[in-house]
Amino acid sequence: MSCYNTSGGFLSMSIEQVLDNTRAAVAAGIGGIKIKVGQPDAKIDLTRVAAVREALGDGFPLMVDANQQWNRSTAIRMGRALEDLDLVWIEEPLDAYDAEGHAALARELATPIATGEMLTSPAEHEELLRHGAVDFLQPDAPRVGGITPFLKIMARGQQAGVRLAPHFAMEIHLHLAAAYEIDPWVEHFDWLQPLFPERLEIADGRMLVPARPGLGFSLSEQARAWTTDAVRIDADGTATTVG
């Protein structure tokens, strides 16, 4: 599965740090780099994205994520200014619920539009698809209520012909994205790693689906130490606190 990371490009990091993180991630086998945009001074955004593009070279997948920082006029201006940098997508340029605004951007810009991480149900994702608001749909399984609603969103995304780039929680999303028909992207984040002893492998820009049973993870000793209560649920639905 094509995989990219975001963890090296936060707004608070200096451009030197971002470039160091970018080089380290590429050396470790990542397939794409996403950096945050939405600085109060838009010129700083443009300089930072251009510097990362320069470091990566032409053709290496690069994305930006505005985390809903822009209004409609800023988003179109920034989208046009970024057009020549050959971005894979511009993420969350607008308020997460502004389906019409995203649709207008998607029509206006050659750069693909991505959004959906904040939405909490298949119906909300359907609203994006109905408006033609996205090129990349970005559902988050924990946020939409788990794997079953996520599968409904995937089915509708495939029907609509959009691409998929699930948000965060690679441990779940790797498996779901692997079942998507139109070449998806998985977001690499190591933040949940302390919970599991197992590690996901990355090679040549791709994350490999583990062959272990289920999602392929067990709870680490650290996760057990953090757990204050464990509840066993029996087949008849009886819940018992076990520690």
Are the C-beta atoms of residues 132 and 100 closer than 8 Å to each other? no
- Rounded CA-CA distance 40/37 in Å is 9
Residue 7: enclosing H or E segment and its boundaries?
A: none
Are the C-beta atoms of residues 3 and 209 closer than 8 Å to each other? no
Minimum distance from residue 142 beta carbon to Mg ion (Å): 14
Q: Which CB sits closer to Mg ion, 45 or 65? A: 65
Interactions with Mg ion, residue window 194-213 (CB under 5 A): none
Six token digits for residue 58 = 């032409």
Q: HSE (CB half, 13 Å, CA atoms) of 50?
A: 11
Binding letters toward Mg ion, positions 55-84, x by CB under 5 A? ----------x-------------------
Work out whether 135 is an interface residue with Mg ion (CB under 5 A): no
Q: Is 152 a catalytic site residue?
A: no
Minimum distance from residue 26 beta carbon to Mg ion (Å): 20
Q: Which CB sits closer to Mg ion, 64 or 176? A: 64
Q: Is 36 a catalytic site residue?
A: yes
Six token digits for residue 119 = 């939405």
Six token digits for residue 135 = 């090129």
Q: Which CB sits closer to Mg ion, 65 or 171? A: 65
Binding site for Mg ion (CB under 5 A): 65
Return the active site residues: 36, 167
